[in-house]
Structure 1
């Protein structure tokens, strides 16, 4: 098992996810049509990373605020008007609840605020609380059952996970935070004329792809000239584009890459000349084959801008990345889902919308799948 693997995600009251508990395999694939709410699975995990970063309230505000992000369907009388998300990573579970301010809270009128926040250790069926937030105060468990308490550490909009005291730097809680910060999310790289993907990048070592893909040339150059291993990368490019060659010159002030097409061997084609689909696929290569693989990569509709003929190569790329990284794929492509199921022998989970609520076929209320079969 990869250290820090995400084992379970529980979501209550987030957009169309009214109450869902998902077990997550090393490779998890969710397929659904437009409007089924499948992207909310992606956003729920992204929610956790922003909690670790300390900008969750800002991120929620940019998503439209609590009015847009909360479940808007019917609720039971006793249910609180909150978003509650829990994620299990290894043997640790992080839980956070977000809601509206009260009249006496030191916050703006509609600012999303942290209502509850805990980190628990799960040992052989037993649960031990390692971190608990109460208002502005935080309690952390120490060695031998001891506890340390910090008063007035937090504003209502700040997460405890992002504001751990220096004394907790070596704790399991800090390790969990670092794991969440290591996650990477990719959703439809820009490939228009002004996209940063179409320009060279500063010629510096790049071990991870930026979220906008701007450092893709440097990521490729790092693989070619620092690690000196682009065998898988270039093989995938050949598979995807009929034996085209990816050419990565040594960087000087700027890093760049080129494609040599078999029909035009005398000329190199620059980033600015490549088709949208070619550039999108190359960006996915950079995201999934970088020098330092993330612990988790979540892909939302990676098939965007790609011709259906590229689905086998995309499945091969995801399969190669899954050798070192946990992968979660959210897609509406039947072809990609089929290719992933065959290539990785992983179940394909179908996302549906029923009465405005996102549901996953075969998922029970206990967070297990009833069929155990590949769709």
Structure 2
């Protein structure tokens, strides 16, 4: 039932996103200046993945805690002091609400707790609830409409989505969890002298890039020597860097890669020697062209450390990856947004902030854009 594509994201009370519903295209680009809150779109999707992973409360604590992550502007009397996020994946919709503990709750004083969870499915135009959770109580519904309670000693800080055993969860629920866990997020790779990108990697097959890029050399080696297809990768490197060649030796104990510049044909430059921008671009290549294409990749400011002249090559990289992967880009670069619009014909969504609230130009309260 799950096609894997993210169709819509609804967010209430999360940082500067007071109440917004976003339709997400196969390539979705959100462009805005610093401080407009565009990164909160990235974080809201990341929120959903951590709900599936089962460490949402810990992740929120690392983001500064519930008080820091909640909308801090004016609220109406009836509005609950909660973060509420919903995401639609194929025919399924996952909804979760997080709030503060009550005095009788089995939790620490300021620990973010799950108040409600729901998974709904749309079958033949009808909406059916597959899972519903209020407090510690979880109700599971099968396709035949039969309901059962799941008594799994669910703590208020744990998501039902992450805890439901495969034999209890409906097939679609388990599939949704797997889909969310497969999402990939990349935010500003480290390129300093101690960055893991600058070191060789263990010589093991790597089908996806780690979040910190530490296995980049292994990802490239897997493409070169296991799949034996680096045509797109090497073509992009030549386009981006005026004919430079990406050299990927067959790994022994460690995997490594080198750049051969046209001006220095007899010298190979190692990972440790590459400029910040070159390394950043190569890491993005690893993220988007890995052996196994993720269903969704979310990029936050991928233009970091890159010269504006690299924006057309970066747009080509994203467009090539979008042939197999849904991609959401959050950027402050008008150059990158313009190149993506030209290369893919995707609409650019402009992000702005008014009175502390992040707004998307042209977006109405129903979650559609005017004129579309």
Q: In which range does the TM-score fall when normalised by the shorter chain?
A: over 0.9
User: Does the aligned pair in 1 maintain the 2:186–2:299 contact within 8 Å?
Assistant: yes
User: Does the aligned pair in 1 maintain the 2:298–2:329 contact within 8 Å?
Assistant: yes
Aligned match of 2:245: 245
Pair 1:49 & 2:49 matched? yes
Q: Distance in 2 between matches of 1:157 and 1:174?
A: 20
Pair 1:276 & 2:281 matched? no
1:153-192 correspondence runs (5 A): 153-168=153-168, 171-192=171-192
Q: Which moved more, 1:226-235 or 1:162-171?
A: 162-171
Aligned match of 2:99: 99
User: Does the aligned pair in 2 maintain the 1:36–1:358 contact within 8 Å?
Assistant: yes
User: Does the aligned pair in 2 maintain the 1:137–1:153 contact within 8 Å?
Assistant: no
- Structure 2 residue runs of 5 or longer lacking an equivalent are none
Per-residue deviation, residues 64-107 of structure 1 (Å, max 9, x unmatched): 00110000000000000000000000000000000000010000
Q: CA separation of 1:249/1:152 partners in 2, compared to 1, >3 Å: closer, same or farther? A: closer
1:207-246 correspondence runs (5 A): 207-246=207-246
Residue 214 (structure 1) shift:
0.2
SS of the aligned residue for 1:36 comes to coil
SS of the aligned residue for 2:167 comes to helix
Residue 125 (structure 1) shift:
3.6
Aligned match of 2:86: 86
Q: Distance in 2 between matches of 1:66 and 1:277?
A: 35
TM-score (norm 1): 0.98
Residue 168 (structure 1) shift:
3.0
Residue 153 (structure 1) shift:
2.9
Q: Which moved more, 1:143-152 or 1:304-313?
A: 143-152
Q: Distance in 2 between matches of 1:163 and 1:62?
A: 21
User: Does the aligned pair in 1 maintain the 2:100–2:112 contact within 8 Å?
Assistant: yes
Q: Distance in 2 between matches of 1:169 and 1:133?
A: 13
Residue 169 (structure 1) shift:
5.6
Aligned match of 2:37: 37
Aligned match of 1:121: 121
Aligned match of 2:60: 60
User: Does the aligned pair in 2 maintain the 1:137–1:152 contact within 8 Å?
Assistant: no
Q: Distance in 1 between matches of 2:171 and 2:89?
A: 15
SS of the aligned residue for 1:47 comes to helix
Per-residue deviation, residues 335-372 of structure 1 (Å, max 9, x unmatched): 00000001000000000001110000000000000033
Aligned match of 2:147: 147
Pair 1:349 & 2:349 matched? yes
Q: Distance in 2 between matches of 1:245 and 1:282?
A: 12
Q: Distance in 1 between matches of 2:134 and 2:98?
A: 13
- Structure 1 residue runs of 5 or longer lacking an equivalent are none
SS of the aligned residue for 1:19 comes to strand
Residue 124 (structure 1) shift:
4.1
SS of the aligned residue for 1:119 comes to strand
Residue 137 (structure 1) shift:
2.4
Residue 142 (structure 1) shift:
1.7
Q: Which moved more, 1:353-362 or 1:147-156?
A: 147-156
Residue 166 (structure 1) shift:
3.6
Q: Distance in 2 between matches of 1:282 and 1:161?
A: 35
Per-residue deviation, residues 18-73 of structure 1 (Å, max 9, x unmatched): 00000000000000000000000000000000000000000000000011000000
TM-score (norm 2): 0.98
Q: Distance in 2 between matches of 1:234 and 1:284?
A: 13
Residue 147 (structure 1) shift:
1.9
Q: Distance in 1 between matches of 2:290 and 2:214?
A: 14
